[in-house]
Structure 1
Amino acid sequence: MRSQVRMDMEIESKHKSEWAEAQKIHISVDLEAAAKQQLKFLAAVDRKRFLYEGPALQRAIYRYNAFWLPLLAKHSESQLVEGPLVVPLDCEWIWHCHRLNPIRYKSDCEDLYGRILDNSDVVSSTQGTCSRQTEEIWTKLYPEEHYELDLAAAFKEDISERILGLKKCTAYDLVSAVKRQSPFFYQVSRPHMSHDVFIEEALARYKGFLHIIRRNKEKSIRRFCVPTYDVDLMWHSHQLHPVSYCEDLIRVHGKVLEHDDMDSDRSKGQKLDNGFSGTTNQWEETFGKRYWRAGAMYRGGTPSPVTLVPFSSKSKKGNDLFSSDEYQNIVQVPEVKFVEVLLEFAGVRGLPESHKGRLSVMFSKSQPDLFFNAKQRLSILSESGEKMVASFNCEPKGELLFELVSYCPSTLPIKRKPRVLGSASLSLQDYLVPVSKLSDEKWLELVPSSGYAGLESMCLRVGFSFTVPSPALYALRMVRSRPFAKNSCLFPLSGRTQHAKSWTRIMTDAGTEVITLQMRSSKKERGKDNLTPRKEVIGITASGECTVAEFMENGWSLLGSRWSLRFQKSSCENSHLCMLIGDRVVNISPGRKLDYEPKHHGTQKTERDFVTAVEFSADTPYGEAVALINLKSGVVKVKEEPLLLTMVVLAFVLSDIMENEGFKGLPATEDNAEADNLFTKESGLQAVGKENVTAFQVESQVESQVELNGDAVKGVEEVPANSLSTASGCGSGCGSGCGSGCGSMVKSGGGDSGRGSGQGNMVESSGCGTGCGGGCGSGCGGGCGSMVKSTGCGGCGSGCGGCGGGCGNMVKSSGCGGCGAGCGGCGGGTMVAGSRQQT
């Protein structure tokens, strides 16, 4: 035992030495600030998606070659303005994509202008610097071309001939470069990416990434290394400073590190697959740290747009619009936060000599958790030889509990109960309250169970990673109740309402009732002999009764005319059903859209159960999904508290309209088990009964759907043998290396984060890159999440995260990754992050 501890300490000392050596790498750019600026810039471009393709992109490429690069060259020779140049957004986007091929950008600049054109005296238009001086010098040099992109001119004129006529123009295919870089923003757009602690740790990991490539060169190893998205964000940020990047990389590696994103071969055994597996193994052997990273893994493909035409309103999105609304406080639901967790058990030591049997670890939470309330089992890498990583969501409080268990072999038909050898815990508050560290790996000393008290210390090696705590979706459900009795004590009802035929109760995921709604019909006099039907929605809370919606001549008015609901006269599948008009513009579209888009292709019948509320504003011109309504289960999920009552009333009105048109309405009665199960699937309550869990097979980017049933239990869940399917496919990102290309991202697995009960299923994958396709069906209620078994692919590809009461998905893989780097090749896969209900 003591000799083993001594060996472990020596290995750990070596790992720390390597990490310390990596952190000595000098980077002459403030990459933390550069990464945050890059995220801000990418968000601005994403609001102008006409720059992704078509005539506007062609015009931007022309302007970049004909005007921006010559202006930059002149300014670098002799300063044209007193302050820095402010680059037009369209030109900056093309410049951005060009610089992300550093070898090609360097050679193009040297061929066309005799030197690398740097950004040392240039600022982005997104930084708020006044562009007046730049506009003046632009107009003086180019009087026939506007400083800002003229969209009207772009769509009127075919610019291809003018591009061919340019004397100085790169031959690099910038259209393809833009196409490859356009999906990157979706992968790095979540709020935690810009958090100070996340960015700080990403920079340290980027230095580690450069260090292992340096070690490869020293040992003459030609390995193509693949980064995760946090590392890739830093790598991109470094390349956007071309002179510094070249100087820094020559100092570290003796040459400029390639980053070409053109390799997209996802087949097993190819560069992307082998590169990521090799990167994962080398990282963990070199630093003794897990390579995967929560929040830095592949999210799946970019959701399909709801419109290709941007919304042109100047209105800004913001919660302050409703600060003085009299309806603001009618519905109050406490905010709940969640974190994504990745967890792996790497080794164990100090076992009793007499021990026989198969070891694994049971993990759970120390206190009730809205998203994680079951116990799950995970194997140990050193014991099984198989890499398994759990991915799940939980509240950022309490402790993670670990129990080392032994399963003794038995010839009896009855399974023996596993023995608990010892236990340990990990406090989430130590890392997340306040956020101080988002990943770690350590030996935890186990407290021996009874019967093992005399043993020497047993220890468990645990690697774990968190995201920054983020607000979870607000989830409410509508349950139609039988008429209240006269002695009901739920709310002080008037005699008129006590005799109502039917009420709909609006409840939180914790079972708390927040408001009760009823649709009333009456007649309103319009002259002496002209009576017209009138409808209204009445809301009852503990504080009283109020009208929350009313049917007017031109449609529905919600919340005292705060909103008006207008229906389409006719609609097609891709259009919106109706529109909410108020201080904000919200379209109600059929099916699950944008953030709520299923990871697989749901059936048309299933999609008819859903509508998505998509808000349009100057900040979100292509739409942002702010709520999802399941008309069948009555579950309403909302991103922002100010929109809670609006979306609940909308859901109630839509349900009434659909029911009148023959659609099966809300679940009836308050004690309906089917309704409870539907809510469990949607919002994360403890599961009851059986739920369907969906897994996906990935065959070279082609998805197919498999339906599996799983039983939900509060205790241990094991994956049945008949839940095994196979998948191949790989993901890729950018790669680096001396003369190599890089692949584009691939959707590998993923799944419907259905918060139901039910156990997820297992996916065995021999893919590469994207963590190898984790399929999911993340059993979120009381069941367990999906499990992914992967060989030959990198990192953790963590499948879908178990929300609700269930355990997160398991990923069994040998690596995962984002973009590749290394001498001799590039490209690589990205890890599959656990899918979840939260956003």
Structure 2
Amino acid sequence: MEMKQQLEWNEAQKTLINVDLVAAAKEQLKFLATVDRNRWLYEGRGLDKAIHRYYSCWLPLLAKHSESPYFDGPLVVPLDCEWIWHCHRLNPVRYKTDCENLYGRILDNHDVVSSVNAKSKKDTEELWKHLYANEPYDLDSARALSEDVHAKAEKYSDYDLVSAVSRQSPFFYQVSRPHINNNLYLEGAVARYKGFLHLIRRNKERSIKSFTVPTYDIDLIWHTHQLHPASYCKDLVDIMGKVLEHDDTDSDRTKGKKLDTGFFRTTRQWEETYGLRYWRAGAMYRGSSPSPLGNSYYPSNPVSKSADIFHEHQKIMQYPEMEAVEVMLELVDIRNLPEGREGSFFVSFSKTQPDRIFNAKRKLTILSITGEKQVASFQCEPNGHLLFDLMSCSSSGLPIPKPVKSVGSVKVSLEDLVCPTSKLTMEKWLEVVPSSKMEALKPICLRVAISVTTPTAAPYVFHFVRPRAFSKNSCLFPLPGRIQHAKNWTRIIDDAGDEVISLQMRDSKKSKGETDSTLHKEVVGVSKFGEVHSLAELVGKEWLLLGAQWSLQLQTSSCDDGQLFELAGQRNVKFFPGQRLDYEHKYCTKQRSEDDFMTAVEFSAQDPYGKAVALADLKFGVINVKEEWFLLPGSITAFVLCDTLKKEGYSSLVGSAKHSKEKLSTQETDVCHEEDNRANLESETEKGVKLDLEATKGSIVAPANEAISGGCNNLMKRGACGSCGAVFGNKLKSGGCGCGSMLESGGCSGSGCGGCGGGGCGSMLESGGCGGSGCGGCGSMLESGGCGGGGCGSMLESGGCGSMLKSGGCGGGGCGCGNRLESGGCGGCGGNSLKSSGCGGGGCGNGLACMTTVEVNA
């Protein structure tokens, strides 16, 4: 940060705000979570009833009590009225006007407590009953949804509160992640909010009209400030001479529209004014809210078991807890490059010691060299070091691969980044340690900008692995190359290949007096310590898990909500086909069949509309579990489901797995083959390149310069391909991938992005490297440059790749990976990344990095 920029930031931090914004933001998050559990307040009769009560009951009561208190102590606002009041206050200018017109003054929240935080609401309830004998204090959903609102409020505004509620309802999803509730993260958000207000003040002083757009951490604090209307009005008049409006009416994120251009200009002004990056890890747009599963659910009668038994069973599948942080990274500038050096420079980044979440090597360009903003976004464990290798790609006029060599490296400690003193961010010049003796007057320095979230619990990802020889009744298809186990045993391993538990489906012994026709099956498990446990038993048409602690039942008739199974016990879990809730795709065209997946959703009083706790990938035998308590019951359930699905006729849910099994059995090698992967990895490493075998676990945001860049939309604002991955090139030069307009980007329409198929990166360990379907013809892997058709094939053996040494492109709708060293592109356009960065058809770009975008808030 230059001295002038540092002074400007210091000046912004002097902004006085008469509210404890950190504490108040945490209260707001708690309140929004409660409202989200009562979604009948979002629309329809429930909303109409709440608005009526707000105008006819709450505002008059608040006005009288604030002028002449009825009793000592705080007034407690009913939940439904508080929600409408919340949305009204988030238009501070209109709220001020309405209050002054109706009551002659601003009605503040002083001495008012939310029903969510109230220790006692007895006094308020008695007062309410006295004033409104025919109107209950607490409005429940049954009453709200059964009654029509006929009477008009005595005093009302023509402000459209229905629309205001509709605009605010999706906000909670954007700020509901665990790290946002952390004090350290919120303190950084308050500092950024002050910087945000200071920018607007500077624009006002210079008579510059600008639509300033916040990121979600800033917007959360801005909302918090507005919820204290008297303080907000006073503070903003002191800061900039007027009450600042909060325009939430524009939600169109289309490229070139008001929101898009406003964010681009805000980013540019912020970075020019403060010398700091405007993006922040964990504060960007997450995509639209997940699609609802239907009406609210209530848990079935749980089986009562003691906590001791629960924890005893949990120990069978012990696995260490793992934390993760979200990281955003940009390489801003470089200085003191030796004179006479020709060619291009970029940075390859990785972790010095790869962890279980992030074990790839990625490529990132330098803003000052390319003129295009690229921001990497990925998750990793909050330990070890990030390693940055400065790479030089020298010019060559010959049609052969350009030599790439390391100039030097620098590393950054993740432990230092997540400690409180760092404030979760770092932007500074770092000295590059040269890889060889270089004659230079000054050391080469790289300006690195990094932002991290506070650590949160990471999901557990396990693979179900069968030996090559398998029976017809096996429930999960085999992955070749694993250590051979006993017949019919399925090993559950983690991403590192370490075994967690082994499971076997077997026929159990008949009880005395039963006939041979009586069907008995059981699941037996062997822990990693060699202990044998009976984990589940089929009794009739019901599976009893862990000594009847859980009961798995098949929904034999089609349910309105589409659920397939119910797992009842300590908690209530239902299984739905496809990827639901947090697992739902936000950006990419869904190329893989939804029948390949099943989502486990827990319903409880805390989450009446459901919380996704696990995703089972039936095609590739992978389960992603979010919470430790579901590890063992979730794994057992996933193990038995395919067998049950076959017998009950749900062929569509196992068809893709069967197809994959037949395909794998005919191949001599496969990308899932651990030993083959290791051999290929070693051979590539000898050439100076490490294969990106975990392309879906990190991503690179390619937020391009609005004037020249292309791909699938702009910057971090419109992430058409999101976390699934795609390369976004310069729209004047090559053209982007997948989702961009063919007229603007020159790229390819249609096909998806990494991990979703149709030309994405996918997991090379699981899907053959590019996701998607088919395996269109391949050009010569040594020279031709392309593959036709649609699909990718195995990157290690056949389809999908263009010339791995030359062209880097793929023809048609394919999605090969392009040249691993050079190409940023693949698919129809392909091309060398140092020239075009594009990808057609929907490819995945350079094998060292997959690009994606992140959206931000309006």
* Structure 1 length-normalised TM: 0.79
Q: Which residue of 1 aligns with 2:43?
A: 53
* In structure 2, distance between residues paired with 1:70 and 1:709: 55
The answer on whether the counterparts of 1:313 and 1:618 sit within 8 Å (CA) in structure 2 is no
Structure 1 residue 620 corresponds to structure 2 residue 610: no
Structure 2 equivalent of residue 455 of structure 1:
441
Alpha-carbon distance between aligned partners in 2 of 1:417 and 1:524, rounded to the nearest angstrom: 69
Shift of 1:231: 0.4
Q: What amino acid does structure 1 have at the position aligned with 2:408?
A: G
Alignment match, 2:497: 511
Q: In the alignment, is the contact (CA less than 8 A) between 2:378 and 2:697 conserved in 1?
A: no
Q: Letter of the aligned partner of 2:194 in structure 1?
A: K
Q: Given the superposition, is the C-alpha separation of residues 443 and 76 from structure 1 closer, same or farther in structure 2, using an over 3 Å criterion?
A: same
Output aligned runs, 1:716-727, within 5 Å.
Answer: 724-725=737-738, 727=740
Match in the other structure for 1:586: 573
For the 8 Å contact 1:709–1:759, the answer to whether it is kept is no
Whether the aligned pair in 1 keeps the contact of 2:226 and 2:232 (CA below 8 Å) is: yes
CA distance 1:706–1:26, shift in 2 (3 Å): closer
Q: CA deviation at 1:559?
A: 0.6
Deviates more, 1:462-471 or 1:414-423: 414-423
2:108 pairs, out of 97, 118, 123, with 118
Match of 1:558 in 2: 545
In the other structure, the counterpart of 1:633 is: 620
Contact 1:759/1:786 (<8 A) preserved? no
Instruction: In structure 2, give the amino acid aligned to 1:380.
Output: I
Contact 1:197/1:436 (8 A) holds in 2: no
Q: 2:164 aligns to what?
A: 177
The one of 742, 756, 759 aligned to 2:763: 756
What is residue 32 of structure 1 aligned with on the other side?
22
TM-aligned CA distance change 1:409 to 1:524, over 3 Å: same
2:59 aligned partner: 69
- Give the corresponding residue for 1:818: 857
Please give the secondary structure, in 1, of the residue aligned with 2:644: helix
- Indicate whether 1:142 and 2:155 are aligned: no
Q: Which moved more, 1:539-548 or 1:202-211?
A: 539-548
Distance 1:144 1:408, change over 3 A: same
**Could you say if the C-alpha distance between residues 144 and 672 of structure 1 is closer, same or farther in structure 2, counting changes exceeding 3 Å?**
farther
Q: State the identity as a percent.
A: 52
2:222 aligned with 1:209, yes or no?
no
Task: Flag the 1:807–1:449 CA change in 2: closer, same or farther, 3 A.
Answer: closer
Say yes or no: does 1:88 pair with 2:101: no
Task: Decide whether the 8 Å contact of 1:614 with 1:625 is kept in 2.
Answer: yes
Q: CA, structure 1 residues 459+316, in 2 after alignment: closer, same or farther (shift >3 Å)?
A: farther
Amino acid at match of 1:477: H
Letter matched to residue 818 of structure 1: N
For residues 196-226 of structure 1, give each alpha carbon's deviation from its aligned partner in whole angstroms, at most 9, with x where no partner exists. Answer: 1100010000000000111101111111111
How far off its partner does 1:659 sit? 4.0
C-alpha offsets along residues 545-578 of structure 1, whole Å, 9 cap, x if unaligned? Answer: 2211101135110111000111112125842111
1:703 shift after superposition: 7.6
Supply the AA of the counterpart residue of 2:205: E
Mapped to 2, the partners of 1:158 and 1:750 lie a distance apart of 49
Superposition map of 1:222-241 within 5 A: 222-241=209-228
Confirm or deny that 1:249 pairs with 2:236.
yes
Cα deviation for residue 375 of structure 1 reads 2.5
Query: What is the match of residue 187 of structure 2?
Result: 200
1:63-462 alignment, distance < 5 Å: 63-159=53-149, 161-162=150-151, 165-311=152-298, 321=307, 324-433=310-419, 436-462=422-448
Partner Cα separation in structure 2 for residue 196 and residue 276 of structure 1: 26
Please give the alpha-carbon distance, in whole angstroms, between the structure 2 residues aligned to 1:433 and 1:245.
32
Give the total of aligned pairs. 726
Select between 90-99 and 367-376 the one with higher mean Cα deviation. 367-376
Kindly indicate whether the alpha-carbon contact (under 8 Å) linking 1:421 and 1:452 is maintained by their aligned counterparts in 2: no
Contact 1:225 1:279 in 2 (8 A): yes
Q: 1:157 to 1:124 in 2, by over 3 A?
A: same
- Secondary structure of 1:328 counterpart: helix
* CA shift for structure 1 position 644: 0.9
Higher percent of residues as strand:
1
754 and 561 in structure 1: CA distance in 2 versus 1, 3 angstrom threshold: farther
1:521 shift after superposition? 1.9
Distance 1:69 1:570 in 2: 49
Q: Write the letter of the residue equivalent to 1:673.
A: D
C-alpha distance in 2 between matches for 1:436 and 1:369: 22
Structure 2: runs of 5+ lacking an equivalent = 471-483, 678-689, 702-710, 728-732, 743-751, 773-814, 827-843
Mapped partners of 2:671, 2:577: distance in 1: 24
Separation of aligned partners in 2, 1:508 and 1:277: 41
8 Å contact kept, 1:475–1:635: yes
The structure showing larger relative contact order (alpha-carbon pairs under 8 Å, at least 6 residues apart) is 1
How far did residue 520 of structure 1 move? Answer: 1.4
Shift of 1:531: 5.3
Q: Distance in 2 between matches of 1:113 and 1:722?
A: 58
Equivalent-residue separation in structure 2 for 1:648 and 1:65 (angstroms): 52
In the alignment, is the contact (CA less than 8 A) between 1:314 and 1:617 conserved in 2? no
Further displaced range: 273-282 or 410-419:
410-419
Q: Aligned in 2, Cα 1:376/1:50: closer, same or farther, shift over 3 Å?
A: same
Distance between the aligned counterparts of 1:280 and 1:708, measured in 2? 23
- Offset, 1:369: 2.2
Q: State how far apart, in whole Å, the 2-side matches of 1:392 and 1:525 are.
A: 54
User: What amino acid is aligned across from residue 458 of structure 2 in structure 1?
Assistant: A
Q: Distance in 1 between matches of 2:630 and 2:740?
A: 41
C-alpha distance in structure 1 between counterparts of 2:695 and 2:430, whole Å: 37
Flag structure 1 segments of 5+ consecutive residues without an equivalent.
1-10, 485-497, 711-719, 730-747, 762-776, 789-802, 820-839
**Which residue identity lines up with residue 70 of structure 2 in the other structure?**
L
Relative to 1, partners in 2 of residues 1:416 and 1:697: Cα closer, same or farther, differing over 3 Å?
A: closer
SS in 2 for 1:477: strand
Q: Report the Cα distance in structure 2 between the residues aligned to 1:778 and 1:639, rounded to whole angstroms.
A: 32
Contact 2:726 2:852 survives alignment (8 Å): no
Q: 1:308 to 1:121 in 2, by over 3 A?
A: same
Cα 1:150–1:528 shift into 2, 3 Å: closer
Q: Contact conserved, 1:523 with 1:532, CA < 8 A, in 2? A: no
Q: Which whole-Å CA distance do the structure 1 matches of 2:364 and 2:41 have between them?
A: 46
After superposition, the Cα gap between the structure-2 partners of 1:366 and 1:778, relative to the gap in structure 1 and judged at 3 Å, is farther
2:429·2:448 contact (CA, 8 Å) conserved in 1?
yes
Q: CA deviation at 1:174?
A: 0.7
Any runs of at least 4 consecutive aligned residues in structure 1 with deviations exceeding 6 A, and if so which? 312-317, 668-672, 685-696, 698-710, 720-723, 748-751, 782-788, 805-808
Root mean square deviation, CA, Å: 4.0
Q: In 1, distance between residues paired with 2:595 and 2:489?
A: 24
Letter of the 2:536 counterpart: A
The code of the aligned residue for 2:670 comes to A
TM-score with structure 2 length normalisation? 0.77
TM superposition shift of 1:809: 4.8
Structure 1 residue 419, shift from structure 2 partner: 4.0
Match of 2:670 among 646, 670, 673: 673
1:754–1:339: structure 2 CA closer, same or farther, 3 Å change rule? farther
Q: Please give the alpha-carbon distance, in whole angstroms, between the structure 2 residues aligned to 1:260 and 1:785.
A: 43
Kindly provide the CA deviation profile for residues 454-486 of structure 1, in whole angstroms up to 9, marking residues without a partner as x.
4312211111101111221111121223689xx
Q: Using the alignment, how far apart are the partners of 2:93 and 2:278 within structure 1?
A: 27
Q: Please identify, of 444-453 and 41-50, the stretch whose mean Cα deviation from structure 2 is larger.
A: 444-453
